[in-house]
A and B are shown apart, each in its own frame.
Chain A
């Protein structure tokens, strides 16, 4: 019974599963290392300071996120309909709303002091 179940499921599982390759994982790893090293070096040694440092930090973080999405989590390989991508985008929109909205309301309001 379990095998019957498994064999049928394996058809589907193979069809839906995304196959990474060693290359993609290694590339993702190396890129992530680089994208971690850059802010470390630049910011901890005060090569960049102030707002520019914030920008560098955030940009490298977002880039590393995107790298991992594609190289580790194989986002591009999803078959249609791309429900995973849609859910992810929606989730990200909401996360940005939560963070930006909170900062806006709590920190830029008329209640000074």
Chain B
């Protein structure tokens, strides 16, 4: 995009935005000045920017999400101000209003709820399962920085280029180039895309962590319920986010390359976008709500001083919600005319999910029954959640009834429903979790009195804001209107709703005050301020950087509670024996790679090759650097551990209670040293499954669009089978030779390994050559990606596969070099095993490409 004047780049003409420009500029200057004045650049780099410590990463996630909560909240209040009075008022022009409801939605879900959730995952899960860190600490840091850069990219659109305006899900055709020619929509795509990659990585990370890094004795059915909820949420993440990645990529390909996936002409089908985006969108809301359920389970049990009721039932409910959420997506477009069969089916599947959710409520209530309930802040928020979420769930069932939904869809009834479940469920849950685990992270509790003010303001504000909106929906007010006239009769309800919104805003301010006040005035607490039941409360607050000095040996659920009871009975344990602890080193790779992603995204937004190319090269370079970097861990000496524990000064109780541990567990090596290579193999396998989903989505798109040739050439016209058959046999043979390479490796034959790898790479390279030739020929004949929807789908599906192969080739060369230098070690073995698996996977995908695209196309 050519920039000829300042207003092509910066957003001009709006005083609010100029104000924001000034504020941003001043803040950046202030930060730089402060860091320089206090000489904290080194500290910032060493302690925060390059950290791989999950606790620090968690803190960064939480801070970022609270800042985004502020921006999203301001957006909300702006909208409510505009809607408080009818069309005589024009506080926000409709254009601006569109920007605001779009950014409000994107920020609240993707840049507030998701990072807050990941923050809580990071702060808590390793501590709950008795682990020292997550399975992939560096990947964890990368996830955070990718989220950060994605959020930055999205936020920067406010002042540079213009915000997106097409709603938080950017339906085409409005989000296509024709109707959204500005860069705002591209900022949207890249911001979410980059952040989404981070989310996917976190999903993989925590699944492996939870499945493989639990303390000895902690069987799956003995895990804390929050950990179960994290596992279920992460399973949904790894299966849902690839769909988002593909859908946004297809939209971008439409915009950037002129393809026709979702355009109005040449066979494009906007309905397909709606279908795909909601396939991600529905599981997404379950992704954010499941951990909230886990938090409530922890809090209810702790503050009722009672075991969680119905553990098995709760686990079953969590996992079934996690999977079933994938079968309900069409309820978001009942009014799109899919027909009674489709609508009836999805209505029923949607209702079914209400059952396990309801069961959980009962389990929480009966955890409280015959317990001794105290109402500290975490419990208060839980009590607020229950009635709120139940009512929200009820309106959800009402909405799921497809024919009735024709009257509710996209009205304020819908808005009230989803805000009720999102705020009442997700926000209240995450607040409860923050209050609950705050002392573990920072070493002090948050002030109770200010917290109660915030709590009541939020709650009252919530009901005052959203209950009128149900009425408004029934009165026919539809969403995304920026104004309405006096004679609709909507005015009074809107006005009340605005008051409620501001009450919530004031509640948020109280929370900010509470945090600042508590930092200054609240006294330090010991490891277990609430009388907790699970392992995280057994270590000092804040936790030492290695978490557990000695890996605990777990014997039952709520193990910490059990040990406290034993200690109360006077059961003495032998004094602890400290051993060296294996920890990951800090690394600058994540933040550097993420910066390159930002550059790449920014370049694509403005279509500046001079940013795109360096960005892409930078990403590849950092990945290769990481692949060649074997110096990633170190050991903490036993002496240092002893000193740190003594300084944490927990006193006698800790020393005795903290015992009952295995000092040397042969199953896992020293001090619970986990088999890192097994972890990495499992992680890679999960990554391959996410890649399956990516190709699955591309196949689905192809299946829907394959006959949309818009009068242009068809497969039968274009496909030349000899070349395709050659490609098929070449790839199959290369899959076989990669297996031979693995066999050589297992025999310890380094030369054989490298030799077969070279053969595989050469075969792969010929595959790519043939494919590129094929594509070039087709383009020459006038069959471009922008010619028809069929061709867009074809090039994207087959091209994505080719891209995977090309990246595999680069990776193969890198590994050949590493094996040549280091020989066959467990690390290189794992890497070769992974690339071989990758290569087999690509051949399997090609079987289906060959069958569905070429064979079926050419008939």
Contacts and interface: CB of A to CB of B under 8 A. Distances in A.
A57 B855 contact: yes
A91 B677 contact: no
B856 interface: yes
Contacts of A57: 851-852, 855-856
Given A8-B673, A36-B728, A68-B840, A105 B330 contact: yes
Nearest to B695: A95
B732 A105 contact: no
A9 B742 contact: no
From B239, B690, B693, B855, name the one whose CB has the most chain A CB atoms within 10 angstroms.
B855
Interface in A16-44: 16-17, 19-22, 25-26, 28-29, 32-33, 36, 39-40, 43-44
A47 interface: no
What's the dominant secondary structure at chain A's contact region? helix
A57 B685 CA distance: 27
Given A36-B732, A90-B235, A58 B851 contact: yes
A72 B848 contact: no
Contacts of B830: 13
Interface string A76-97: 0000000110011011101101
B827 interface: yes
B699 A105 contact: no
B279 A98 contact: yes
Contact of A97 (B269, B326, B337, B342): B326
B833 interface: yes
B211 interface: yes
Contact of A108 (B279, B339, B728): B339
A80 to B, nearest CB: 12
Interface stretch (B270-278, B597-605, B611-619, B808-816): B270-278
Nearest to B271: A106
Nearest to A49: B859
Interface in B297-321: none
B635 interface: yes
Interface string B339-353: 111100000000000
Given A13-B678, A91-B693, A98-B693, A73 B840 contact: yes
Contacts of A20: 739, 742-743, 746
B369 interface: no
Contact of A36 (B693, B697, B729): B729
A13 B675 contact: yes
Contacts of B826: 6, 9-10, 13
Contacts of A17: 746, 829, 833
Contacts of B678: 12-13, 16
Interface string A47-88: 001000110011011001100110011000000000110011
A53 B857 CA distance: 12
B275 A73 contact: no
Interface residues of B, number: 82
Contacts of A53: 859
Contacts of B630: 2
A73 B837 contact: yes
Contacts of A36: 728-729, 732, 847, 850
A102 B704 contact: yes
Interface residues of A, number: 64
A5 B630 CA distance: 11
Contacts of B338: 105, 109-111
Contacts of A90: 235, 239, 323, 689
B339 A95 contact: no
Contacts of A10: 826
B827 A6 contact: yes
Nearest to A89: B689
Contacts of B337: 109-111
Contacts of A26: 736
B566 interface: no
B107 interface: no
From A5, A98, A102, name the one whose CB has the most chain B CB atoms within 10 angstroms.
A98
Contacts of A103: 700, 703-704
Given A57-B851, A102-B275, A28 B736 contact: yes
Contacts of A68: 735, 840, 843-844, 847
A99 B739 CA distance: 30
B837 A16 contact: no
Nearest to A16: B678
Contact of A25 (B670, B681, B740): B740
Interface string B667-691: 0011001011110011001100110
Given A5-B633, A13-B829, A99-B699, A72 B670 contact: no
B704 A107 contact: yes
A15 B329 CA distance: 42
A112 to B, nearest CB: 10
Contact of B735 (A72, A105, A106): A72
A13 B682 contact: no
B342 A109 contact: yes
Contacts of B686: 87
Contacts of B371: none
Contacts of B329: 101
B105 interface: no
A65 B847 contact: yes
B820 to A, nearest CB: 17
Nearest to B742: A20
A65 B849 CA distance: 12
B230 to A, nearest CB: 16
From A5, A15, A58, name the one whose CB has the most chain B CB atoms within 10 angstroms.
A5
Contacts of B682: 83-84
Contact of A1 (B635, B729, B829): B635
Contact of B827 (A9, A40, A58, A87): A9
B353 to A, nearest CB: 15
A97 B275 contact: no
Contacts of A54: 856
Nearest to A26: B736
B396 interface: no
Contacts of A43: 855, 859
Nearest to A7: B826
A74 to B, nearest CB: 9
A91 B239 CA distance: 7
Given A16-B678, A25-B739, A109-B339, A91 B729 contact: no
B554 to A, nearest CB: 18
Nearest to B830: A13
A95 to B, nearest CB: 3
B449 to A, nearest CB: 47
28 contacts: A2-B630, A5-B582, A9-B675, A12-B677, A13-B678, A16-B677, A17-B833, A20-B739, A20-B743, A20-B746, A26-B736, A29-B739, A36-B850, A44-B858, A64-B844, A83-B211, A84-B685, A90-B689, A97-B327, A98-B243, A98-B697, A98-B700, A99-B703, A101-B275, A101-B330, A102-B276, A104-B342, A111-B336
Given A36-B728, A91-B689, 19 more contacts: A8-B673, A13-B830, A17-B746, A19-B746, A20-B739, A29-B733, A33-B732, A36-B729, A44-B855, A57-B851, A60-B851, A68-B840, A83-B211, A90-B239, A99-B703, A102-B700, A106-B275, A109-B342, A110-B340
Interface of A: 1-2, 5-6, 8-13, 15-17, 19-22, 25-26, 28-29, 32-33, 36, 39-40, 43-44, 49, 53-54, 57-58, 60-61, 64-65, 68-69, 72-73, 83-84, 87-88, 90-92, 94-95, 97-99, 101-111
Interface of B: 211, 235, 239, 243, 269, 271-272, 275-276, 279, 323, 326-327, 329-330, 336-342, 582, 630, 633-635, 669-670, 673, 675-678, 681-682, 685-686, 689-690, 692-693, 695-697, 699-701, 703-704, 721, 725, 728-729, 732-733, 735-736, 739-740, 742-743, 746, 825-827, 829-830, 833, 837, 840, 843-844, 847-848, 850-852, 855-856, 858-859
List the 9 closest A-B pairs by CB distance, nearest first: A12-B675, A95-B696, A110-B339, A91-B689, A102-B700, A61-B851, A25-B739, A29-B736, A9-B826
